[in-house]
Structure 1
């Protein structure tokens, strides 16, 4: 494995002792710069040394800042710039040192680009830069994330680099993430045997593992043991505990933990209060969450965008819209930026309640504050105006300057136009939609088909469905149309669909058709012929007219239950199937009497019929008599079909 090869190349190095509390590259001594020219004075040499150190530090700090922001591509670009300036020679700049390589590799590893991280280590070794303990820790972290703990352990033993507290902490964190708490304790014991003093970062993953498993008592005991050993839990450790307490509705204990913070040498942060607020809001305790905001402000902590998001979502879900609007108005006072997402959250709740005037007021307010509305903002406004019956105003927004209507906008308007029976307006809007190069999606076609069927325009609905097939959309729209046509008894329109050149029925279409007809009551004897007409069209399209003559004859005699039962009992091979595709198997899953409040008295399935029965040659109007001439079973009126793979 590439990671093993890189790890094996790590050479024994004089490193800080295990008792060092340093876990990162910050504050460590930088490697010596290349030898300066002999003709420079000592003052000039010192000046050049300081310049090189500043450049190395500046590059490393810039890379770390970009990595914290998640901009890994910029980290790679800065590192490439560092190598380029170093290659120019002279005073161009120092070559990358181990700190820069570690920062690059760690940023790539955190972004999941582990292959590039390993290449960075290989490049570091090839350039003669010696790895340190932090280099080893990054490799161990990559192994731990992939649950390759054996490789991580092998790396510790074979690399020749003395593990430090960061090495052990990294391995413990990986084991805890994998749920291997017992193994993590084993690493901790081994660490103590090596006289390596644990830090709070060593214990916190174990506390988190306990909390994740709901073992809060064990987590508290471990934190008490940390205090006894002089390794005091920090705000991160307490945040983990508070999150677990909130998930368990143990808010009284959260209050107790916060009250004891002053005596236990830790101070709650904004993240602490965000966790607590989020826990309260999940349980619908909006009033308590708002009080907590005042407590947070009283301690001099400034709310973040995440704080406002938690509170606004909670207030909106609790239908406390006046409080949500009031909180938006306090954004300047609270020193947090209420952006377009915050306004959209409140507007969406106002839209659900039909308060389009309130949305217009908020829109005016956000524009005055210099907050630019986005497409979602306008879509919320369009929907609210439609709910309020302001169709002309809603439609005029499409042509507003600065608003690019998308398919959601048109779908909203189309839905309300069809809902109110405004077919002319809907047709015009479809034309505008196509003129603006907005492609209809499945929701669009579903809205159109439902609206047209509601108005009895089945021909137009069928035409739109066939048009959707040419657009490459899925067959989900067929479910909507088929239900509408079946319940409206539009058999010839269904035949038109299945006979269309762009429509190719498959197993799922056969299954859907049978289910839909049976749900609509077409499995009664006197209406079987309608379902058989549809199946006959589908069979012709699939080229399955050469199916078993016996089963096919029953289908044409309007004896679909008999045909299906025959296929079930006499089907040693697939060609007996009257419908479906390869590997499909049609069977009668349940034939039951519809007798109201009466026990079932008939057998679940009829016996197989003889294949020597004469073919049915009667005209369609006399086929009902054939039905009564054939053997039947008492009380069986409905058939529910299921297709099994």
Structure 2
């Protein structure tokens, strides 16, 4: 944090909290003194003893430090790390004026904010400055550094160094220290090494807990090693560390993703008998998987089991149930269920309405969408961007572009890139090219919304359909700011080749090189294949093909895929 400390002089010293009341403020009206009440000789109030003065200063400092730490944590949760650094710099100045140093808690808050932001060098500097200030680190200080190196930067050797160095500072690694390292190793797929850390911590007399084992089980699930994951549950039971609801939820999610619903049923029976009881998350996970796999009836049956366990449906539960009804086209049950959601004590949030509106859009039931929108607003449920995007999509399908533009531009809807992508796509679809151009211009320059890959794909395709190949080429070049997309490049090359726009293709390859992207053999293969497919193998056009190859590869050069057999050239 050297750069932050060096600029600390630019910040004001934080004032100590005042102990004065509102009557002592400058704004209070001062009454004239009364002769009858004024003493003839005013004697100054005796100064409090030095020890009492020190206690008052100390109390004020602690109040200031506490309030500052609370503010830094709130800023860190919002992701505003720069403000956290600035506030800590102000606190350092106040601490220097008071002749004290910030506590380890404040240092830890700053350390954690930097670690979460992946700023490893700054975090290391702050830790060293803390030691230089004479503030002793605690286990949380080291755990933050272990998390930084094991989770954020994957520099596991540094994570091990921090754990080995803890005892030199009089700090003993705790279960959180080892569990943090285990989690990082499992995320990196280093499961055998994670088991080695478990052996190490037990040799040090630190017993693993359920949150130590759960990342290993999750690692097995990521790799598809579900049998090993099941065996780990038994191992945890035998080790006196039975799995909790989170552990079971991880395994159930993996089994659902693999379609092994019979095994999920077995696990449900297990946890009902020996605990822990299934949570709402457990039921939601299973119900959602069943619904997506066309097993709506079974999913709805779980809803009754959920009620018998004394669990209240969440907003996600309602969304799943509604989706089940929608998949079976039981709209006669969907709408009444939404209308009675308050009476049934169901959490009918905007997500639930969006689920139904999206399905109604797929079925082209436009009036029902508008009725549902009116229903949710009457209940005080505020539509979000997704709601409006569904509405806009449904109107665009019906060709009501004038209504959509009126909604977006005159009613200040919470539009995002998906909104504009929809408008641009349907403008091109209905032949309104000028509207599409204006929409793109408005999105990027007025609404300040950055186009994404979908935007560029729509624009390139629409411009090519209009024969505006130079503009399509420029649009593709603009898309290279973020990444090189094969989904945009391949159809663009195909359309340019079909229209014999060789100069445009050469320009594209030059820009790809200039932006530092590495060409691969698939780009050449796709380009040449497109040209051959459009008849460039014919004698009359072979010169154009040679010109293209020379421009892409360079004079006298040839590129072959490294894996191709030499005899197949």
In the alignment, structure 2 segments of 5+ residues that lack a partner are 3-47, 446-454, 480-487, 513-522, 561-566
1:411 is aligned to: 424
Matched, 1:175 2:185: yes
2:469 is aligned to: 465
Q: Show the 5 A alignment for 1:95-134.
A: 95-134=101-140
CA distance in 1, matches of 2:102, 2:534: 74
Decide which of 277, 281, 290 is 1:271's aligned counterpart. Answer: 281
Matched, 1:288 2:295: no
CA distance in 1, matches of 2:474, 2:236: 68
CA distance in 2, matches of 1:386, 1:375: 16
Number of residue pairs matched by the alignment: 480
Structure 1 residues 51 and 255: alpha-carbon distance in aligned structure 2, compared to 1, 3 A threshold? farther
Query: Contact 1:164/1:196 (CA < 8 Å) preserved in 2?
Result: yes
1:445: Cα distance to partner?
5.5
In the alignment, structure 1 segments of 5+ residues that lack a partner are 3-36, 419-425, 451-460, 486-493, 543-576, 589-604, 606-641
Decide which of 366, 369, 373 is 1:356's aligned counterpart. Answer: 366
1:131: Cα distance to partner?
0.9
CA distance in 1, matches of 2:441, 2:128: 56
Query: Contact 1:331/1:338 (CA < 8 Å) preserved in 2?
Result: no
Structure 1 residues 38 and 275: alpha-carbon distance in aligned structure 2, compared to 1, 3 A threshold? farther
Structure 1 residues 303 and 41: alpha-carbon distance in aligned structure 2, compared to 1, 3 A threshold? same
1:101: Cα distance to partner?
1.9
1:582: Cα distance to partner?
0.1
1:373: Cα distance to partner?
4.8
Q: Show the 5 A alignment for 1:50-199.
A: 60=69, 72=81, 75-76=84-85, 79-80=88-89, 82-83=91-92, 86-87=95-96, 89=98, 95-145=101-151, 146-159=153-166, 160=168, 161-199=171-209
CA distance in 1, matches of 2:76, 2:509: 51
1:129: Cα distance to partner?
0.6
Bigger relative contact order, structure 1 or 2 (CA pairs below 8 A, ≥6 apart): 1
Query: Contact 1:535/1:579 (CA < 8 Å) preserved in 2?
Result: no
1:409: Cα distance to partner?
4.6
CA RMSD between the two structures: 4.8
Larger Rg: 1
1:338 is aligned to: 349
1:200 is aligned to: 210
CA distance in 2, matches of 1:151, 1:431: 52
Counterpart secondary structure, 2:217: helix
Counterpart secondary structure, 1:187: helix
CA distance in 2, matches of 1:435, 1:144: 44
Query: Contact 1:258/1:268 (CA < 8 Å) preserved in 2?
Result: yes
Counterpart secondary structure, 1:167: helix
CA distance in 2, matches of 1:438, 1:48: 54
CA distance in 2, matches of 1:190, 1:510: 52
1:130: Cα distance to partner?
0.4
CA distance in 1, matches of 2:526, 2:131: 63
Structure 1 residues 75 and 279: alpha-carbon distance in aligned structure 2, compared to 1, 3 A threshold? farther
1:122: Cα distance to partner?
1.9
Counterpart secondary structure, 1:275: helix
Structure 1 residues 206 and 39: alpha-carbon distance in aligned structure 2, compared to 1, 3 A threshold? same
Counterpart secondary structure, 1:205: helix
Larger mean CA deviation between 95-104 and 392-401 belongs to 392-401
CA distance in 1, matches of 2:279, 2:79: 22
